[in-house]
Structure 1
Amino acid sequence: MTSSEDVRRAVGINDVAARAGVSPGTVSNVLNRPERVAEATRLRVEQVIDELDYVRNSSGRSLRSGRTDSIGLLVLDVTNPFFTKVSEGVEDEAAGAGYPVVLLNSAENPQRQRRSLRLLAEQRAAGAVIMPVDNDLSDLLWLRERGIPWVLLDRGDVSADLGCSVCVDNHEGGLAAGRHLVSLGHERITFLSGTLSLEQCRTRLNGLRTALDEAGIDPDDAVRLVETGKLNAANGEQAVEEVLGGGPKRRPQAVFCANDQLALGLLKGLGERGLHAPGDISVVGYDDVDFAALVHPGLTTVGQPKYELGRAAMRLLLSELNDPGHRHERMLFAPELVVRGSTAPYRT
């Protein structure tokens, strides 16, 4: 049996301060606001923290402040590599400011999104970066009313009066994909999409329609919409029959997919039916995930600065958390068309 004398007493902030020869307030600043401490002092305190193996008591601090230091990151689909890169950006920026990140997955489900937001409220999260599943922002406004600020990621249609947002210009992305396909002579184009309740999908479709209209092609005649349940590879593969519907004479000359996951699934489904890109159908994706360059032929896609999106969203959230003069912003990044082997000129 272990006696009480053998149990190691927890090292406290006062122990660190005494060993380093500074006040407890200075130790607190090193832990929470290191930029306020002279470098030599900060390094001495950090060395003592390591020597004493000090672990801060976050629960006590949470009770005093009424919130934890955690940041919620709510994404649409944790299996999508796009969100992996975004998450890296959020986590790297948050780590630099001393905030841990809790990853949550809505799976494109409004009920799961609601449960996740309520969990953040219950845990008194410091803030959140959120990719909403649809246009209904009532749950997000509910969260803000409870003192938890948020930044919307991958949504460009939200007023800055409501909160900060970070997005890539999805209309420009759809426009770039459409212009590329039109330049190759394609005039029958299917847009393979998730639900149009997602602003990203709607806006990319509108960009495609604009490109056709610019070229003097009636988008109502040229563009066919195929909606899938979710933006994943399995749904892309399952959508092949509907994409090919109407027989060879009505088969699309090209398919523009709302994301790379759908496009990769579509390519697999086409191959299983003896059809290939670009010889039979040109295929364009969106996001430029790592796998897009690894398949054969490489996937033509619209690239997004995924990592930078995550970092920018977290920077805006940190500003709201720490800057009394913070004002909400909308940040818009430019997309980039990445041409690979899955598109080619239309052959009559």
Structure 2
Amino acid sequence: MSTRPRSTRPSVGITEVARHAGVSPGTVSNVLNRPERVAEATRARVEAAIAELDYVRNSSGSSLRSGRSGSVGLLVLDVTNPFFTEVARGVEDEAAGAGLAVVLLNSAEAQDRQRRNVRLLAEQRAAGAVVMPVDDDLSDLLWLSHQGTSWVALDRGDVAEDVGCSVSVDNHAGGLAAGRHLIGLGHERVTFLTGPFAIEQVRRRHQGLLDAFTESGMDPGAHVRVVEQPLLNPQQGERAVDAVLAGGPRQRPQAVFCANDQLALGLMKGLGRRGLRVPDDISVVGYDNVDLADLVHPGLTTVAQPKYDLGRAAMRLLRSELDDPGHRHERVLFTPELVVRGSTAAYRS
């Protein structure tokens, strides 16, 4: 049985559309890019020719002429973290209103990966980028600025307004709320389980926890212990169980405040495998309020971040910088909210 090769049709160009509509190629270009400059009757004739010929515009060609593409980059710390799913949805919904496509990139919490992805965005002439930096070093973002690529820092509240736009959540307030909650339940030995302190959000959440003890009249140095992990994922949370429980039953924390939900969920799994019950033996608090936090048993008490709004606000600032010659950099700060579920309870000696 013989098969016939599929027929291929040469792609239709702007010249063919112009000939079919009886106008110049420049008029077709105006219809595609600046339709308000073309008379309504002429525009309708060109649009009809586009439809009849099934013309598809060459966006790569137009990007070469304009100097930028129709895409923006979204560079996140960990693409497997469901926190970023909602952030990405907010970015994409806002970008869609401007006809921009979003390219998702993953730094895997590594500086070298971030640098490679930033350079890739510049090489591809991305219109701009929303970036969650892996640490305090903003040199990659400053390099992007020198290449003429606009950016917005996501979840970073310490970016100066003369440097660039930023959207973040008050992480100190989140840590303070978690600490007050645990202290109110009678917990005086608290472990802060975290990823690298090079991450600004981690440091601010920790400081909020310390300040909660200070305002309660307790020395945070005597009541708060830190267990630091290389990454902020469930595997690291589960592996941290030995360090969290170090020192035996008398030194065991009454509660653990985790720098994100991923660590908290992993820790709860590890504690269960050790025969320890949450919250009867140890209370656990997370941070982010990912969807899974309400699906596990017991439900995870956590500090909720407005994830979707974070992404949408970041993309709104980026659109402003791309479209408004008079754009001025802004810092947008959201307030987190403590969500109490079943993973925390009053301390019982």
In 2, distance between residues paired with 1:133 and 1:327? Answer: 25
Q: 1:263 to 1:60 in 2, by over 3 A?
A: same
Q: Note the residue ranges of structure 2 that are not aligned, 5 or more in a row.
A: none
Note the C-alpha offset of 1:26: 7.6
RMSD value over aligned CA atoms?
Answer: 2.6
1:302–1:338 contact (8 Å) kept in structure 2? yes
Alignment map for 1:104-143 (pairs within 5 Å): 104-143=105-144
SS in 2 for 1:102: strand
Instruction: Identify the residue that residue 312 of structure 2 maps to in structure 1.
Output: 311
SS in 2 for 1:346: coil
Instruction: Identify the residue that residue 225 of structure 1 maps to in structure 2.
Output: 226
Instruction: Identify the residue that residue 268 of structure 1 maps to in structure 2.
Output: 269
Answer with 67-76 or 287-296: which moved more: 67-76
1:228–1:235 contact (8 Å) kept in structure 2? yes
Deviations 1:1-25 (A, max 9, x none): x9xxx75343345666787899877
In 1, distance between residues paired with 2:40 and 2:84? Answer: 36
Q: 1:9 to 1:294 in 2, by over 3 A?
A: same
Q: 1:254 to 1:59 in 2, by over 3 A?
A: same
Instruction: Identify the residue that residue 70 of structure 1 maps to in structure 2.
Output: 71
Instruction: Identify the residue that residue 200 of structure 1 maps to in structure 2.
Output: 201
In 2, distance between residues paired with 1:40 and 1:258? Answer: 60
In 2, distance between residues paired with 1:185 and 1:35? Answer: 67
In 1, distance between residues paired with 2:163 and 2:117? Answer: 20
1:74–1:106 contact (8 Å) kept in structure 2? yes
Q: 1:267 to 1:39 in 2, by over 3 A?
A: farther
Q: 1:284 to 1:20 in 2, by over 3 A?
A: farther
In 1, distance between residues paired with 2:86 and 2:92? Answer: 10
Alignment map for 1:270-289 (pairs within 5 Å): 270-289=271-290
Answer with 161-170 or 19-28: which moved more: 19-28
Percent of residue pairs bearing the same amino acid type: 74
In 1, distance between residues paired with 2:210 and 2:41? Answer: 60
Counterpart code for 1:137: L
Instruction: Identify the residue that residue 159 of structure 1 maps to in structure 2.
Output: 160
Instruction: Identify the residue that residue 240 of structure 1 maps to in structure 2.
Output: 241
Note the C-alpha offset of 1:55: 1.6
In 2, distance between residues paired with 1:339 and 1:234? Answer: 24
Note the C-alpha offset of 1:62: 1.6
1:32–1:98 contact (8 Å) kept in structure 2? no
Q: 1:223 to 1:8 in 2, by over 3 A?
A: same
In 2, distance between residues paired with 1:154 and 1:209? Answer: 21
Note the C-alpha offset of 1:66: 2.0
Deviations 1:112-144 (A, max 9, x none): 111111111111111100000011111211111
Instruction: Identify the residue that residue 323 of structure 1 maps to in structure 2.
Output: 324
Q: 1:63 to 1:185 in 2, by over 3 A?
A: same
Q: 1:52 to 1:345 in 2, by over 3 A?
A: farther
Q: 1:203 to 1:242 in 2, by over 3 A?
A: same
1:14–1:24 contact (8 Å) kept in structure 2? yes
In 2, distance between residues paired with 1:149 and 1:326? Answer: 11
Counterpart code for 1:339: V
Deviations 1:12-63 (A, max 9, x none): 4566678789987786577557899999999997777555433211121122
Instruction: Identify the residue that residue 298 of structure 2 maps to in structure 1.
Output: 297
In 2, distance between residues paired with 1:344 and 1:35? Answer: 63
Q: 1:345 to 1:61 in 2, by over 3 A?
A: same
Instruction: Identify the residue that residue 83 of structure 1 maps to in structure 2.
Output: 84
Counterpart code for 2:269: K
Q: 1:65 to 1:185 in 2, by over 3 A?
A: same
In 2, distance between residues paired with 1:345 and 1:39? Answer: 71
Counterpart code for 1:307: Y
Q: 1:78 to 1:37 in 2, by over 3 A?
A: farther
SS in 2 for 1:159: coil
Q: 1:39 to 1:294 in 2, by over 3 A?
A: farther
Instruction: Identify the residue that residue 337 of structure 1 maps to in structure 2.
Output: 338
Q: 1:36 to 1:285 in 2, by over 3 A?
A: farther
Answer with 292-301 or 7-16: which moved more: 7-16
1:88–1:310 contact (8 Å) kept in structure 2? yes
Note the C-alpha offset of 1:327: 0.3
Answer with 253-262 or 38-47: which moved more: 38-47
1:185–1:345 contact (8 Å) kept in structure 2? yes
In 2, distance between residues paired with 1:103 and 1:176? Answer: 32
Q: 1:187 to 1:60 in 2, by over 3 A?
A: same
Size of the aligned set, in residue pairs, is 344
- TM-score in terms of structure 2 length: 0.91
Deviations 1:140-187 (A, max 9, x none): 111110101100001111111110000011011111111111110111
Counterpart code for 2:145: R
